Amino acid sequence: MPPHRTPEQNLLDELLAKTASGDQAAFAELYRLTSPRLYGVCVRMLRERGEAEEVLQEAWITVWHRASTFDRTKASAGTWLGTLFRNKAIDRLRQRREQLLDDPELMNHLEDEDPNPADGAEQTQEYLRLRECLDQLQPQQRRAIREAFFSGVTYNELAARCQVPLGTMKSWIRRSLLQLRTCLDL
């Protein structure tokens, strides 16, 4: 059963469904409305605009071809798109993993404690709920989850970035994920 969605979310669902039937105007509108956020995610993950542009382009081509697999009873358009774009970016990151590991500047990077919280205009019910649950985690673990989500890097690299042993990072993340599930599914 799909959760309640706002009119804005419904519009995106509608546009994606129309894209599936080859509606170019709907596709263009979907692009216009969602690209800044999706591009922002790609830039944050890849840290390089040229590559983020390539991923953005590739992912939108995929959206056009695979929109028919979108099922609004299973996911919102936002979740569907976000998943597709993050997956493309993660694939790209895995391809250049070694190069990243060699870059000391990237290795020393750590997300700030205050992770650019979404402003009032963007606070969907789902996001607010997630943030509430994230706030219940230990600060270090909360930070590790955000760093993992927005960097898209593997456990190994995540541990190196946060300067903790691999085992520690794994147990932080796993415990946090289980805690999040318990909190979110309440």
Partner 1 sequence: MNTPTDDSNSQLRYAEYVLGVLDADARAEVERDMASSEAVATAVALWQRRLLPLIAEAAPIEPPEYVWHRIRHQLALDASPAVARPADAGTARPRWWNALRFWQGLGLGASLLAAACLALLLSSHKPSVTPPSYLASTITQGNGQVGWTATVDLNHQRVVIVPTRPQAIARDRAPELWLIPEGQRPIAVGMIGGDAPVTLPLDRRLLASFGPGAALAVSVEPPGGSPTGQPTGPVIAKGLLDTSGAAIHVPLASPAHPLDT
168 binds partner 1 (CB under 8 A): no
173 binds partner 1 (CB under 8 A): yes
149 binds partner 1 (CB under 8 A): yes
Among 89-97, 102-110, 135-143, 160-168, the segment contacting partner 1 (CB under 8 A)? 89-97
Question: CA-CA distance, 62 to 69, in Å (whole number)?
Answer: 11
Residue recorded with tokens 């830039």: 43
Least distance between partner 1 and beta carbon 108 (Å): 19
Side-chain half-sphere of 170: how many Cα atoms within 13 Å?
A: 5
141 binds partner 1 (CB under 8 A): no
Among 98-106, 135-143, 145-153, 160-168, the segment contacting partner 1 (CB under 8 A)? 145-153
140 binds partner 1 (CB under 8 A): no
The correct pick among 100, 101, 106, 130 for binding partner 1 (CB under 8 A) is 130
166 binds partner 1 (CB under 8 A): no
Question: CA-CA distance, 110 to 133, in Å (whole number)?
Answer: 22
67 binds partner 1 (CB under 8 A): no
Side-chain half-sphere of 68: how many Cα atoms within 13 Å?
A: 3
How many other CB atoms sit within 10 Å of the CB of residue 86?
19
Dihedral sign from CA coordinates of 151, 153, 157, 163: positive
